[in-house]
Amino acid sequence: MGIDEVQLNFNPATLLLMNILIGFIMFGVALDLKPADFKRTLRSPKPFIIGLSAQFIIMPALTFLLVLILQPQPSIALGMFLVAAAPGGNLSNFLTHLAKGNTPLSISMSAVSTAFSLFMTPLNVMLWGSLYGPTREILRSFMIHPIDLVQTIVILLGIPLALGMYVNHKAPRWSSKASRFMKRFSIGFFLVFVAGALAANFNYFLEFVSMVVLAVFLHNMIAILTGYFTSRAFKLPERDRRAIAIEIGIQNSGLALILVFNFFDGLGGMAIVAAWWSIWHIVTGLALATFWSKRPAPKVESVTV
Protein backbone atom coordinates (compact mmCIF):
# COMPACT_ATOMS: atom_id res chain seq x y z
CA MET A 1 0.00 0.00 0.00
CA GLY A 2 1.42 3.40 -1.01
CA ILE A 3 1.54 6.51 1.15
CA ASP A 4 -1.39 8.06 -0.78
CA GLU A 5 -3.61 5.10 0.13
CA VAL A 6 -2.65 4.93 3.80
CA GLN A 7 -5.05 6.48 6.30
CA LEU A 8 -3.77 6.68 9.87
CA ASN A 9 -6.12 5.07 12.36
CA PHE A 10 -7.64 7.04 15.20
CA ASN A 11 -10.75 6.84 17.32
CA PRO A 12 -13.12 9.67 18.29
CA ALA A 13 -11.81 9.77 21.88
CA THR A 14 -8.20 10.22 20.68
CA LEU A 15 -9.23 12.92 18.23
CA LEU A 16 -11.17 14.75 20.94
CA LEU A 17 -8.16 14.56 23.27
CA MET A 18 -5.86 15.98 20.57
CA ASN A 19 -8.32 18.79 19.87
CA ILE A 20 -8.40 19.65 23.57
CA LEU A 21 -4.61 19.52 23.87
CA ILE A 22 -3.98 21.84 20.91
CA GLY A 23 -6.57 24.23 22.35
CA PHE A 24 -4.84 24.04 25.75
CA ILE A 25 -1.47 24.87 24.17
CA MET A 26 -3.03 27.82 22.35
CA PHE A 27 -4.68 28.99 25.58
CA GLY A 28 -1.24 28.96 27.25
CA VAL A 29 0.25 31.07 24.46
CA ALA A 30 -2.65 33.55 24.74
CA LEU A 31 -1.98 34.06 28.47
CA ASP A 32 0.97 36.20 27.35
CA LEU A 33 -1.05 38.33 24.94
CA LYS A 34 -2.68 41.70 25.46
CA PRO A 35 -4.78 43.91 23.19
CA ALA A 36 -1.69 46.16 23.01
CA ASP A 37 0.06 43.43 21.04
CA PHE A 38 -2.51 43.88 18.29
CA LYS A 39 -2.51 47.67 18.57
CA ARG A 40 1.25 47.65 17.92
CA THR A 41 0.47 46.71 14.31
CA LEU A 42 -1.24 50.04 13.86
CA ARG A 43 1.58 52.06 15.44
CA SER A 44 4.43 50.36 13.57
CA PRO A 45 2.95 48.25 10.80
CA LYS A 46 6.04 47.73 8.62
CA PRO A 47 7.46 44.59 10.33
CA PHE A 48 4.00 43.02 10.50
CA ILE A 49 3.22 43.69 6.86
CA ILE A 50 6.57 42.22 5.84
CA GLY A 51 6.32 39.25 8.21
CA LEU A 52 2.70 38.37 7.44
CA SER A 53 3.25 38.79 3.70
CA ALA A 54 6.21 36.42 3.90
CA GLN A 55 4.17 33.96 5.97
CA PHE A 56 0.86 33.91 4.12
CA ILE A 57 1.80 34.96 0.56
CA ILE A 58 5.48 34.36 -0.23
CA MET A 59 5.91 31.11 1.70
CA PRO A 60 2.85 29.32 0.19
CA ALA A 61 3.93 30.44 -3.30
CA LEU A 62 7.48 29.13 -2.76
CA THR A 63 5.99 25.89 -1.45
CA PHE A 64 4.11 25.53 -4.72
CA LEU A 65 7.37 25.98 -6.66
CA LEU A 66 9.11 23.44 -4.40
CA VAL A 67 6.32 20.94 -5.07
CA LEU A 68 6.67 21.49 -8.83
CA ILE A 69 10.42 20.79 -8.53
CA LEU A 70 10.25 17.77 -6.22
CA GLN A 71 7.06 16.23 -7.64
CA PRO A 72 6.29 14.37 -4.39
CA GLN A 73 3.38 11.99 -3.91
CA PRO A 74 0.09 13.95 -4.00
CA SER A 75 -0.72 13.46 -0.31
CA ILE A 76 2.78 14.68 0.62
CA ALA A 77 2.35 17.74 -1.60
CA LEU A 78 -0.98 18.58 0.03
CA GLY A 79 0.62 18.17 3.45
CA MET A 80 3.27 20.69 2.43
CA PHE A 81 0.59 23.15 1.28
CA LEU A 82 -1.23 22.72 4.59
CA VAL A 83 1.86 23.28 6.75
CA ALA A 84 2.82 26.33 4.68
CA ALA A 85 -0.65 27.76 5.25
CA ALA A 86 -0.48 27.38 9.05
CA PRO A 87 0.28 30.33 11.36
CA GLY A 88 3.42 30.60 13.48
CA GLY A 89 3.95 27.87 16.05
CA ASN A 90 3.67 28.20 19.81
CA LEU A 91 7.42 27.70 20.36
CA SER A 92 8.49 30.68 18.25
CA ASN A 93 8.33 33.21 21.09
CA PHE A 94 10.61 31.16 23.35
CA LEU A 95 13.06 30.51 20.50
CA THR A 96 13.12 34.19 19.48
CA HIS A 97 13.96 35.16 23.06
CA LEU A 98 16.77 32.57 23.12
CA ALA A 99 18.03 33.88 19.76
CA LYS A 100 18.23 37.44 21.09
CA GLY A 101 15.62 38.48 18.55
CA ASN A 102 12.77 40.94 18.96
CA THR A 103 10.55 38.98 21.36
CA PRO A 104 7.71 41.56 21.50
CA LEU A 105 7.55 41.43 17.70
CA SER A 106 7.46 37.62 17.83
CA ILE A 107 4.63 37.61 20.37
CA SER A 108 2.68 40.15 18.36
CA MET A 109 3.24 38.29 15.10
CA SER A 110 2.05 35.05 16.71
CA ALA A 111 -1.13 36.76 17.84
CA VAL A 112 -1.80 38.52 14.55
CA SER A 113 -0.90 35.52 12.36
CA THR A 114 -3.16 33.30 14.46
CA ALA A 115 -6.02 35.75 13.97
CA PHE A 116 -5.28 35.97 10.23
CA SER A 117 -5.09 32.19 9.95
CA LEU A 118 -8.82 31.94 10.64
CA PHE A 119 -9.32 32.75 6.97
CA MET A 120 -5.82 32.70 5.39
CA THR A 121 -5.15 29.04 6.22
CA PRO A 122 -8.30 27.71 4.47
CA LEU A 123 -7.74 30.15 1.59
CA ASN A 124 -4.15 29.05 0.98
CA VAL A 125 -4.89 25.34 1.29
CA MET A 126 -7.76 25.52 -1.17
CA LEU A 127 -5.95 27.90 -3.57
CA TRP A 128 -2.60 26.13 -3.91
CA GLY A 129 -4.10 22.67 -3.54
CA SER A 130 -6.48 23.43 -6.41
CA LEU A 131 -3.73 24.83 -8.65
CA TYR A 132 -1.71 21.59 -8.48
CA GLY A 133 -3.47 18.82 -10.40
CA PRO A 134 -2.71 15.79 -8.17
CA THR A 135 -3.74 17.59 -4.98
CA ARG A 136 -6.81 19.03 -6.66
CA GLU A 137 -8.09 15.48 -7.03
CA ILE A 138 -7.60 14.84 -3.30
CA LEU A 139 -9.53 17.98 -2.37
CA ARG A 140 -12.37 16.87 -4.64
CA SER A 141 -12.44 13.36 -3.20
CA PHE A 142 -12.82 14.67 0.35
CA MET A 143 -15.30 17.44 -0.53
CA ILE A 144 -13.63 20.03 1.71
CA HIS A 145 -15.67 23.18 2.28
CA PRO A 146 -13.71 26.31 3.28
CA ILE A 147 -16.44 27.34 5.74
CA ASP A 148 -16.01 24.06 7.62
CA LEU A 149 -12.25 24.68 7.81
CA VAL A 150 -12.84 28.19 9.12
CA GLN A 151 -15.25 26.96 11.79
CA THR A 152 -12.81 24.31 12.99
CA ILE A 153 -9.91 26.78 13.17
CA VAL A 154 -12.07 29.24 15.11
CA ILE A 155 -12.82 26.50 17.65
CA LEU A 156 -9.22 25.26 17.87
CA LEU A 157 -7.45 28.64 17.83
CA GLY A 158 -9.88 31.54 18.01
CA ILE A 159 -11.76 30.55 21.17
CA PRO A 160 -8.64 29.55 23.20
CA LEU A 161 -6.94 32.76 22.02
CA ALA A 162 -9.84 34.94 23.17
CA LEU A 163 -10.24 33.03 26.43
CA GLY A 164 -6.53 33.27 27.27
CA MET A 165 -6.45 37.00 26.61
CA TYR A 166 -9.60 37.48 28.73
CA VAL A 167 -8.04 35.58 31.64
CA ASN A 168 -4.84 37.63 31.25
CA HIS A 169 -6.90 40.82 31.42
CA LYS A 170 -8.90 39.74 34.48
CA ALA A 171 -6.13 37.93 36.40
CA PRO A 172 -2.74 39.17 35.15
CA ARG A 173 -0.75 37.85 38.13
CA TRP A 174 -2.14 34.34 37.76
CA SER A 175 -1.68 34.50 33.97
CA SER A 176 1.97 35.47 34.39
CA LYS A 177 2.65 32.44 36.60
CA ALA A 178 0.65 30.08 34.40
CA SER A 179 2.37 31.41 31.28
CA ARG A 180 5.82 30.70 32.73
CA PHE A 181 4.72 27.13 33.45
CA MET A 182 3.38 26.72 29.91
CA LYS A 183 6.61 28.05 28.39
CA ARG A 184 8.71 25.59 30.38
CA PHE A 185 6.61 22.62 29.38
CA SER A 186 5.40 23.70 25.94
CA ILE A 187 7.88 21.50 24.06
CA GLY A 188 6.87 18.55 26.23
CA PHE A 189 3.16 19.17 25.70
CA PHE A 190 3.75 19.49 21.98
CA LEU A 191 5.72 16.23 21.76
CA VAL A 192 3.01 14.46 23.77
CA PHE A 193 0.50 15.78 21.27
CA VAL A 194 2.50 14.45 18.30
CA ALA A 195 3.14 11.12 20.04
CA GLY A 196 -0.58 10.77 20.73
CA ALA A 197 -1.37 11.41 17.09
CA LEU A 198 1.06 8.70 15.97
CA ALA A 199 0.71 6.18 18.82
CA ALA A 200 -1.57 3.78 16.96
CA ASN A 201 0.18 4.29 13.63
CA PHE A 202 3.88 4.25 14.47
CA ASN A 203 4.64 1.44 12.02
CA TYR A 204 3.26 3.52 9.17
CA PHE A 205 5.31 6.50 10.36
CA LEU A 206 8.54 4.46 10.38
CA GLU A 207 7.74 2.95 6.99
CA PHE A 208 7.03 6.20 5.18
CA VAL A 209 8.89 8.96 7.04
CA SER A 210 11.94 8.57 4.76
CA MET A 211 9.74 9.75 1.88
CA VAL A 212 9.20 13.16 3.50
CA VAL A 213 12.58 13.85 5.14
CA LEU A 214 14.12 15.71 2.18
CA ALA A 215 10.91 17.62 1.39
CA VAL A 216 10.48 18.77 5.00
CA PHE A 217 14.19 19.68 5.30
CA LEU A 218 14.05 21.87 2.18
CA HIS A 219 10.62 23.26 3.07
CA ASN A 220 11.70 24.29 6.57
CA MET A 221 14.96 25.80 5.30
CA ILE A 222 13.07 27.83 2.70
CA ALA A 223 10.68 29.08 5.41
CA ILE A 224 13.52 30.32 7.63
CA LEU A 225 15.42 31.90 4.73
CA THR A 226 12.22 33.51 3.41
CA GLY A 227 11.60 35.21 6.75
CA TYR A 228 15.18 36.37 7.23
CA PHE A 229 15.99 37.61 3.73
CA THR A 230 12.60 39.20 3.09
CA SER A 231 13.15 41.21 6.28
CA ARG A 232 16.70 42.01 5.23
CA ALA A 233 15.57 43.18 1.80
CA PHE A 234 13.30 45.73 3.49
CA LYS A 235 16.14 46.84 5.82
CA LEU A 236 14.59 45.70 9.08
CA PRO A 237 16.96 45.56 12.08
CA GLU A 238 18.74 42.28 12.82
CA ARG A 239 16.56 41.54 15.86
CA ASP A 240 13.43 41.85 13.72
CA ARG A 241 14.95 39.61 11.03
CA ARG A 242 15.58 36.88 13.58
CA ALA A 243 12.07 37.13 14.98
CA ILE A 244 10.42 36.91 11.56
CA ALA A 245 12.72 34.09 10.38
CA ILE A 246 11.85 31.99 13.43
CA GLU A 247 8.16 32.89 13.24
CA ILE A 248 7.91 31.59 9.68
CA GLY A 249 10.20 28.61 10.26
CA ILE A 250 8.26 27.43 13.31
CA GLN A 251 4.86 26.70 11.79
CA ASN A 252 1.88 25.50 13.82
CA SER A 253 2.22 21.97 12.48
CA GLY A 254 0.11 20.73 15.38
CA LEU A 255 -2.83 22.62 13.91
CA ALA A 256 -2.01 21.13 10.51
CA LEU A 257 -1.96 17.63 12.01
CA ILE A 258 -5.33 18.16 13.67
CA LEU A 259 -6.83 19.40 10.39
CA VAL A 260 -5.52 16.28 8.63
CA PHE A 261 -7.40 14.10 11.09
CA ASN A 262 -10.52 16.26 11.11
CA PHE A 263 -10.90 16.74 7.36
CA PHE A 264 -8.71 14.20 5.53
CA ASP A 265 -9.28 11.05 7.61
CA GLY A 266 -5.60 10.91 8.61
CA LEU A 267 -4.38 10.76 4.99
CA GLY A 268 -0.91 9.19 5.16
CA GLY A 269 1.32 11.68 3.32
CA MET A 270 -0.32 14.72 4.88
CA ALA A 271 -0.16 13.33 8.42
CA ILE A 272 3.47 12.22 8.14
CA VAL A 273 4.58 15.57 6.68
CA ALA A 274 2.90 17.45 9.54
CA ALA A 275 4.22 15.00 12.17
CA TRP A 276 7.81 15.07 10.90
CA TRP A 277 7.70 18.87 10.56
CA SER A 278 6.55 18.98 14.21
CA ILE A 279 9.75 17.19 15.22
CA TRP A 280 12.14 18.73 12.71
CA HIS A 281 11.27 22.38 13.33
CA ILE A 282 12.12 21.95 17.02
CA VAL A 283 15.57 20.65 16.01
CA THR A 284 16.25 23.45 13.52
CA GLY A 285 14.65 26.11 15.71
CA LEU A 286 16.76 25.21 18.76
CA ALA A 287 19.93 24.94 16.64
CA LEU A 288 19.35 28.33 14.99
CA ALA A 289 18.35 30.03 18.24
CA THR A 290 21.44 28.63 20.00
CA PHE A 291 23.65 29.83 17.15
CA TRP A 292 22.18 33.33 17.30
CA SER A 293 22.27 33.41 21.12
CA LYS A 294 26.07 33.46 20.89
CA ARG A 295 25.97 36.36 18.42
CA PRO A 296 24.12 39.34 19.93
CA ALA A 297 22.35 41.50 17.38
CA PRO A 298 23.65 45.04 16.85
CA LYS A 299 22.10 47.48 19.30
CA VAL A 300 20.04 49.38 16.78
CA GLU A 301 16.61 50.55 17.87
CA SER A 302 13.93 48.35 16.33
CA VAL A 303 11.21 49.93 14.26
CA THR A 304 8.66 48.12 16.42
CA VAL A 305 9.62 49.83 19.67
Tally of structural domains, the chain:
1
**Residue percentage of the chain with pLDDT more than 90:** 30
Domain contains 300: no
Q: Are the CB atoms for 291 and 35 separated by under 8 Å?
A: no
Domain contains 3: no
Q: What is the pLDDT of residues 40-52, one digit of tens each?
A: 666 778 888 999 9
Domain contains 65: yes
Q: Are the CB atoms for 181 and 27 separated by under 8 Å?
A: no
Domain contains 305: no
Q: Is 133 exposed, middle or buried (0-12, 13-18, 19+ CB in 10 A)?
A: exposed
Domain contains 301: no
Most confident of 59-63, 286-290, 294-298: 59-63
Q: Are the CB atoms for 122 and 153 separated by under 8 Å?
A: yes
pTM, two decimal places: 0.80
**Range of the structural domain that residue 55 is part of:** 12-293
Domain contains 125: yes
Domain contains 50: yes
Domain contains 271: yes
Q: Looking at the predicted structure, is the pLDDT value of residue 142 above 60?
A: yes
Assign residue 220 the CATH number of its domain: 1.20.1530.20
